[in-house]
Structure 1
Amino acid sequence: MQQLKIYQSRWAMELRRPDGVERTDEEAFALVAEAGFHGMALDLGASDMAEAKKTLPLFRKHNLECMINAFPDTIDGLQPVLDMAKEFDASYVNIIGQVMPFTVDEGVEVVKRWMEMAEASGVDVLFETHRNCITNDLFYTLQLMDRLPEMPICADLSHYIVDREFWFPLSAGDQALIRRILKRADMFQGRISNREQVQIQIDFPRHQKWVEQYKAWWEEGIGYWKGRHGPDDTMIFLTELGPPEYAITGADGFELSDRWEEALKIKGWVEDIWART
């Protein structure tokens, strides 16, 4: 039977409050486990590898699965992350590649090399739709996907809505571009943006049109995933609401909403979508 697993991001558990109050990793892992998440994602863009490796006992203590977000800035820079993934028994290494060739031909060679390295290491990888990396631009990424049908995609649509400044409601043409990502995505990330801000508060009335649009995209994408995958496959959905400066703050430096409560709400939405899709 197909299964949904929802992970939370360790980076998203950071508070970064102006008064210095912060969660410990122990507190964060305990909260995530108690809330019924299946795993935690380690973000090597927010923490170096040595610090991230210290969390291995917490994964075991709280019976949480692991995935790793990697930001390799050279081809060979991915290998230490693949080695770490074996140590942590990570479900995926999610690549936000900092090698950014100008041409699609060059990009194809980079992606192929990273996929070959992952296969040789016995580690599953994804390529996240993300700004400031090899998949920075929607049009460039679609060309990579066309050239590499085997390129696995992690869909974080928030980056492309900002990158392309898509108007709401989206035109049929723009929706068709997003649909090409949805049809290929093997994993989804839960962040909601509008055309100007990569992470918006999900309870504000003025943001509801975008909330409903993202819910519709996740439902469509999950439907495609279920149709493409086998009866015993597992889909991971990652809630990843970043701390300031991703999260918008007031003049006092405090956030305008509670990201942990928002993560729990998105988790519930996705569980409902999965059940009815």
Structure 2
Amino acid sequence: MRRLLVFQSLWAMLDHQGQPTMALEAQLEIIAAAGYDGITDHFWQPAHARRLSQAAKGLGLAIEGQAFPRTVDDLAAALDVASQHGCHHLTLQADVRAYSVAQVMPLLEGWQRLAEQVDFAVLLETHRYRVTNDLPLTLGLLAQFPDLKLLADLSHYVVGRELPEAACAEDDRDIQQILQRSWGFHGRVASSEQVQVPLAFAQHQAWLQRFLGWWRYGMQDWLARDSTVDGSLSFTCELGPPPYAITGADGSELSDRWQDALLLKDLVRNLWHDLV
């Protein structure tokens, strides 16, 4: 059976000053009680990975691990930690700034060889100030590496490229190419000028619907790739603290990120249920 697993980001659990408000184990208990399937957090440091794994397993939560490699050796070390403790998949924010496909081909070739040696997916995340910062360059990487698997955080391309609110066929084709190679999603809604907007505000509803349409397309494409294979697709609610979250003059956030995350969880599950 093919399933959608909805994760909650532990980064999104930080308060408006970027600080945790409770112990790791207590955070996971709240996340599990809210009906999430798993959690997303850094997963390359041995002591933290061990603690996170023990707490998550005790609550039946899956783990989306995050790593920030710069070299082939960096990924080898992260995979060793993740393999010891187990995860649903590992997502890479490749901490490299690239100006051409050729510049990063040796690095991606080395990472792909390593990814073939583990029993969980290794996904390259679309993210600003990473190797996937530039959408055309990322599309070039996909052309050179037909087996490269992405994790799509579309918010970075919306705000990074200032995509217009009115849908553009060319932009949608580019985004669809990203989705056709994605095996998971990081979820937030962006606008042309803000990487993360409150979901309930009236002025953001057009963007919310745009993102829901993209995510639906990505889910549908994933389901169609090979209907005979069991597996699970991940979606992380990743509503980060300021400066991702918009604040007023007093530094307070304009919306309740936890409530927005619960709403997002339900919205994407509804998309999935409509498809399956």
Q: TM-score, normalised by structure 1?
A: 0.93
CA apart distance, 1:52: 4.7
Is 2:210 the partner of 1:213?
Answer: yes
Distance 1:52 1:218 in 2: 29
Question: Distance between the aligned counterparts of 1:190 and 1:167, measured in 2?
Answer: 19
Instruction: Give, in whole Å, the separation in 2 of the partners of 1:204 and 1:26.
Output: 32
Written as runs of structure 1 = structure 2, the 5 A alignment for 1:28-177 is 28-43=27-42, 50-177=47-174
State the Cα deviation string for residues 120-154 of structure 1 (Å, max 9, x = none).
24442001111111111100000000111100011
Q: Find the counterpart in structure 2 of residue 256 from structure 1.
A: 254
Please tell me whether the aligned partners of residues 194 and 210 of structure 1 are also in contact (alpha carbons under 8 angstroms): yes
Which SS does the other structure have where 2:88 is aligned?
Answer: coil
- How does the TM-score come out when normalised to structure 2? 0.93
The Cα shift of 1:49 comes to: 5.7
1:189 matched residue in structure 2: 186
1:238 aligned to 2:233?
A: no
**Residue number in structure 1 paired with 2:5:** 5
Structure 2: unaligned runs, 5 residues or longer = none
- With over 3 angstroms needed to count, the CA separation of the structure-2 counterparts of 1:94 and 1:250, relative to structure 1, is same
Deviations 1:62-94 (A, max 9, x none): 121111111112221112211121122111110
- For residues 167 and 175 of structure 1, the distance between their equivalents in structure 2, rounded to whole angstroms, comes to 11
Q: Which amino acid aligns with 2:15?
A: L
Contact 1:83/1:121, CA 8 A, preserved across alignment: no
SS in 2 for 1:235: strand
Amino acid at match of 1:219: R
Q: Distance in 2 between matches of 1:21 and 1:13?
A: 7
Deviation at residue 210 of structure 1 after TM alignment: 0.3
Aligned to 1:268: 266
The separation in 1 between residues aligned to 2:52 and 2:168, in whole angstroms, is: 44
Unaligned regions of 5+ residues in structure 1, if any? none
- For 1:35 and 1:263, the matched residues in 2 are separated by 10
| Deviation at residue 60 of structure 1 after TM alignment | 2.2
What SS class does the counterpart of residue 116 from structure 2 fall into? helix
| In 1: Cα distance, 2:222 partner to 2:162 partner | 26
Whether the aligned pair in 2 keeps the contact of 1:16 and 1:22 (CA below 8 Å) is: no
- CA separation of 1:214/1:23 partners in 2, compared to 1, >3 Å: closer, same or farther? same
Q: 1:21 to 1:63 in 2, by over 3 A?
A: closer
Measured on the aligned residues, the alpha-carbon RMSD in Å equals 1.8
Once superposed, which parts of structure 1, at least 4 consecutive aligned residues long, lie more than 6 Å away? none
